[in-house]
Amino acid sequence: MPRRITMADVAREAGVSLMTVSRAVNNKDGISEGTRQRIQEIIDRLGYRPSIIARSLVTDRTGTIGLIVIDNSNPFFSEIARGVEHEAYATGYNVFLCNTEEDTQRELAVLRSLEEKRVDGIILCSSRLPEDDLLVALEPHPAVVLVNRKLTQKHYLSILLNDEGGARRATEHLLQHGHRNIGLLAGPPRSYGGQQRMKGYRDALESAGICPKPEWTRHCLPIVDSGREAAADLLLSCPDISALFCFNDLNAVGALQACQSLGRRVPDDVAVTGFDDIPMAALVTPALTTCRTPTYEVGQQAMSLLLECINGCEGECEDIIFERELVIRESAP
Amino acid sequence: MPRRITMADVAREAGVSLMTVSRAVNNKDGISEGTRQRIQEIIDRLGYRPSIIARSLVTDRTGTIGLIVIDNSNPFFSEIARGVEHEAYATGYNVFLCNTEEDTQRELAVLRSLEEKRVDGIILCSSRLPEDDLLVALEPHPAVVLVNRKLTQKHYLSILLNDEGGARRATEHLLQHGHRNIGLLAGPPRSYGGQQRMKGYRDALESAGICPKPEWTRHCLPIVDSGREAAADLLLSCPDISALFCFNDLNAVGALQACQSLGRRVPDDVAVTGFDDIPMAALVTPALTTCRTPTYEVGQQAMSLLLECINGCEGECEDIIFERELVIRESAP
DNA sequence: CTGTTAGCGCTTTCAC
DNA sequence: GTGAAAGCGCTAACAG
């Protein structure tokens, strides 16, 4: 491996000083058009690439951000990631993608390693950390956008999803169709979104004069398999349940499978609702009634917000709230 | 924003030199256990985080790698990304995720920006660049692993998928069930995997004494919508087609939709095969016959290979070839 | 319009 | 076991 071309090489070749090359590279003025072109030619010929590492050391900007999600193989997150990366690319940033895999220790570790990498900011999706830990872990980061998580002690710039409202509407939809005993696949206990959805679910039941029984609830991981197991368990122990409100679409797909293997028809014996409206939701049989989120846009907006934050518009930035639109399909018509 | 804590702050506080702190931070020896502990305490108390940026400048290692995919919202890639990131996390690396969105200019730009970020290596998946451009763009990178792309002029460490074999088996499966006029959704023209699949498809047909007609083939983007359009177009212009071999599962799902809207039953009127076996493949109706790839493992192995390459085991590293296992389901029983 | 000096935060090398 | 000096590749600040 031959030594890399540095700015000094370009400067020597062009017979100018480092600063002149630097100005050419960064398109700054205070340099004649002639020298700029001459230097550009030499840069191209030599294949010089400025070291963002060296530049960062002095400018204190790395041109990188960190994106933390639970699990990039969950379409909800991979679509957010795509939105973030699209916006980042458009503005010259690179994105570190980190999965926490529902592990709070890993979430902390990742937050720390991004700090050591001196990212200009982070987008943290669906954090599972207790608020106290989160406050400490976020504090050293120069810019932060939270997705789907709200803190009580301190405000961070956020993209919020109206999970409570979405859950309420979905549950009301089930109630309107005569369901009284509605099961809840509640997702991970530490999920803020899960807690909001539970609120909406309970609220809707109580407004209808129904007391949501604790035994109607099962926590589960936000994946198909865990949803299947939780649903099967729930349907077996509470045979009078006629509808399932599921934390997300993956859980709902699992619920569909559980119903199938228990010989319960959907929606006739058991109605099922999902959450997120991932592409799969419309394609399974029966197609899922669910709450849609414009996931890609969430990612885009999160990155835009973060950029504003990085570029120092303290105070002027505002949280963005996305609605969860109820999409009615066959699993709960 | 208060100034960041630097190693000098720690050194001053501990009453030692920079070097001693450095040794403690990097767990090097040549330092007594006592001082090490004392320094560690001060580091914790002050919340010091070493600057990987500054370290990189002297060590010439950044602890980062670049992962380039076409589209992270395609489950095939998001699952690879998860595998890569998992392995990276385990070894202390961070991953830049970049989407090319089928745009070769963007692929070049991303390759270049990763170079400027001085990544220790890159994993390039399903590159769409012409070989000549690719050779130039890859040359300056210190370590490279190619996924599902083989070059003719120079060898790069690769994870290869036996797409040709998989396509042949899938096509043979269709032939064995009496299909003679088999359409091909061929994917993007620049896709190496697509070219290999086309080879396998043609090979199988020719071995069966059938001349694959050019009008049986449609190129399309590897997404549902494009698959639907291409399939509809194909079925309309060649009504005698009784089976479709699709570039990937997303295309196959699109083909299913096209059949539905044209009133053609699957598999009775038209048999359909997909490729990849993404989770959705088993969940749509009818469930897709497809060729499975252990995508997550592809990602893991790609990262392992890259690490070996980074750590300089020239020559000893070997390409890894994954088979594409035919999974028979309802869409082509 | 161009150049010189200093320094970003760390590690390498060598000296004690 | 510990420290001093030099330098990684670049840019900010100022001088000409």
Label residue B79 by pLDDT band (50, 70, 90): very high
Q: Which of B49, B118, B296 has the CB atom closest to A52's CB atom?
A: B118
Predicted confidence band at B34 (pLDDT cuts at 50, 70, 90)?
A: confident
Q: Is residue A2 part of a domain?
A: no
Contact A116 B52 (CB under 8 A): yes
Q: Does A89 touch chain B (CB under 8 A)?
A: yes
Chain A neighbors of B283, CB-CB under 8 A: 253, 280, 283-284
Which 3-state string (H, E, C) describes chain A?
A: CCCCCCHHHHHHHHCCCHHHHHHHHCCCCCCCHHHHHHHHHHHHHHCCCCCHHHHHHHHCCCCEEEEEECCCCCHHHHHHHHHHHHHHHHCCCEEEEEECCCCHHHHHHHHHHHHHCCCCEEEEECCCCCHHHHHHHHCCCCCEEEECCCCCCCCCCEEEECHHHHHHHHHHHHHHCCCCCEEEEEECCCCHHHHHHHHHHHHHHHHCCCCCCHHHEEECCCCHHHHHHHHHHHHHHCCCCCEEEECCHHHHHHHHHHHHHHCCCCCCCCEEECCECCHHHHCECCCCEEEECCHHHHHHHHHHHHHHHHCCCCCCCCCEEECCEEECCCCCC
Mode of pairing for the β-strands spanning B217-219 and B182-187: parallel
The reply to whether A23 has its C-beta less than 7 Å from any atom of strand C is yes
In this prediction, residues B110-121 reach a mean pLDDT of: 98
Nearest to A280 among B56, B71, B283 (CB): B283
pTM of the model: 0.95
Helix (H, G, I), strand (E, B) or coil at B161: strand
State the Cα–Cα distance between residues B130 and B139, nearest whole angstrom.
14
Q: How far apart are CA B41 and CA B23, in angstroms?
A: 14
The partner residue sitting opposite A113, judged by closest CB among B94, B118, B224, is: B94
SS3 label, residue B199 = helix
**CB within 8 A of B69, min separation 6: which ones?**
B77, B80, B81, B97, B98, B99, B100, B125, B126
In this complex, the residue of B73, B140, B280 whose CB is nearest that of residue A82 is B73
- Are the beta carbons of A117 and B85 separated by less than 8 Å? no
Query: Measured between CB atoms, which of B118, B224, B285 is closest to A51?
Result: B118
Is the CB of B16 less than 7 A from some atom of nucleic acid strand D?
yes
Q: Please tell me the predicted confidence (pLDDT) of residue B192.
A: 97
Domain end position, chosen among B59, B76, B94: B59
Evaluate whether residue B271 is within a structural domain.
yes
pLDDT at A29: 80
State whether A158 and A250 are in the same domain.
Answer: no
Q: Which residue is nearest to nucleotide D8 (CA to C1')?
A: B58
**A250 and A286 in a common domain:** yes
Structure confidence at residue B75 (pLDDT): 97
- For chain A, say whether B57 makes contact (Cβ under 8 Å): yes
What is the pLDDT, as a whole number, of residue A33? 86
Nearest-Cα residue of chain B relative to residue A95:
B96
Residue finishing a domain among B59, B77, B100: B59
Q: Where are the alpha helices (DSSP H) in chain B?
A: 7-14, 18-25, 33-46, 52-59, 75-90, 104-116, 131-138, 163-176, 192-207, 224-237, 249-262, 279-283, 295-310
Question: Are A19 and A126 members of one domain?
Answer: no
Among the listed residues B148, B231, B157, B155, the one whose alpha carbon sits nearest the alpha carbon of residue B195:
B148
Q: What local confidence, expressed as pLDDT, does residue A28 receive?
A: 87
Q: Are residues B269 and B235 in the same domain?
A: yes
Provide the 8-state DSSP code for B29.
S
- Residue A314: its pLDDT value, please? 66
> Is the pLDDT score of B315 beyond 80?
no
Amino acid A9 CA to nucleotide C6 C1' distance, rounded Å: 21
Q: Does residue A47 form part of some domain?
A: yes
Choose one of A59, A80, A97: the last residue of a domain. Answer: A59
Contact criterion met (CB below 8 Å) for A81 and A123: no
The predicted structure's pLDDT at residue B317: 82
CB-CB under 8 Å, A75 with B116? no
Are residues B177 and B256 both part of a single domain?
yes
Q: How many residues does chain B have?
A: 333
Considering the domain architecture, whether residues B215 and B156 belong to the same structural domain is answered as: no
Minimum CA–C1' distance nucleotide for B18? D3
Nucleotide nearest to A9 (CA to C1'): D9
CA distance B322 to B80: 13
| Per-residue model confidence as pLDDT tens digits over B232-283 | 999 999 999 999 999 999 999 999 999 999 999 999 999 999 999 999 999 9
Structure tokens at A200: 């909406």
What Å value separates CA B8 and C1' C3?
31
Is the minimum CB–CB distance between A287 and chain B shorter than 8 Å? Answer: no
Assigned domain for A328 exists: no
Task: Tell me how many degrees the CA angle B190-B174-B324 measures, rounded to the nearest 5.
Answer: 55
Please give the tally of structural domains in chain A: 3
Counting as low any pLDDT under 50, the low residues of chain A are none
Identify whether B234 is part of a domain.
Answer: yes
Q: Are residues A282 and A300 in the same domain?
A: no
Distance from CA of B241 to the nearest CA of A (A): 24
The answer to whether residue B1 sits within a structural domain is no
Residues A211 and A110 reside in one and the same domain: no
Which of B92, B149, B88 lies closest to B124 in space, CA to CA? B149
Under an 8 A CB cutoff, do B53 and A98 touch? no
Tell me, yes or no, whether B108 and B170 share the same domain.
no
How does residue B17 score in pLDDT terms, banded at 50, 70 and 90? confident
pLDDT bin (cut points 50, 70, 90) of residue B182 is: very high
Q: Indicate if A173 and A278 belong to the same structural domain.
A: yes
How many angstroms away from the CA of B328 is the closest CA of chain A? Answer: 18
Distance A32 CA to C1 C1' (A): 7
Please, which residues have CB within 8 angstroms of residue B143's CB and are 6 or more apart in sequence?
B120, B121, B122, B306, B309, B310
Report yes or no: B50 at the A interface, CB cutoff 8 Å: yes
Task: For chain B, say whether A75 makes contact (Cβ under 8 Å).
Answer: yes
Predicted local confidence at residue B314, as pLDDT:
66
Rounded to a whole number, what is the distance in Å from the CA of A202 to chain B's nearest CA? 31
Within 7 Å: CB of B61 and strand C?
no
Question: Where in the sequence is the domain holding B281, given as residue range(s)?
Answer: 163-293
Distance CA B236, CA B232 (A): 6
Task: Indicate if A211 and A312 belong to the same structural domain.
Answer: no
The integer distance in angstroms from the CA atom of A17 to the C1' atom of D16 is 14
Q: For residue B152, how many other CB atoms are within 10 A of its CB?
A: 6
Residue A244 Cα, gap to closest chain B Cα (Å): 19
Which CATH number does the domain housing residue A46 bear? 1.10.260.40
**Does residue A260 sit at the B interface (CB-CB below 8 Å)?**
no
Residue B58 CB in 7 A reach of strand C: yes
CA of A75 to C1' of D15 (A): 58
CATH of the domain at A193: 3.40.50.2300
Supply the angle between the helices B75-90 and A75-90 in degrees, to the nearest 10. 80
* Strand C close to A18 by CB, under 7 A: yes
- The whole-number Å distance from A55's CA to C15's C1' is 32
Does a structural domain hold residue B187?
yes
A63 CB closer than 7 A to any strand D atom: no
Same domain, A288 and A302: no
Q: What is the mean pLDDT of residues B184-190?
A: 97
Chain B positions in Cβ-Cβ contact with residue A64 (cut-off 8 Å): 96, 117
- The answer to the question of residue A281 being in a domain is yes
> What pLDDT is stored for residue A318 in this prediction?
86
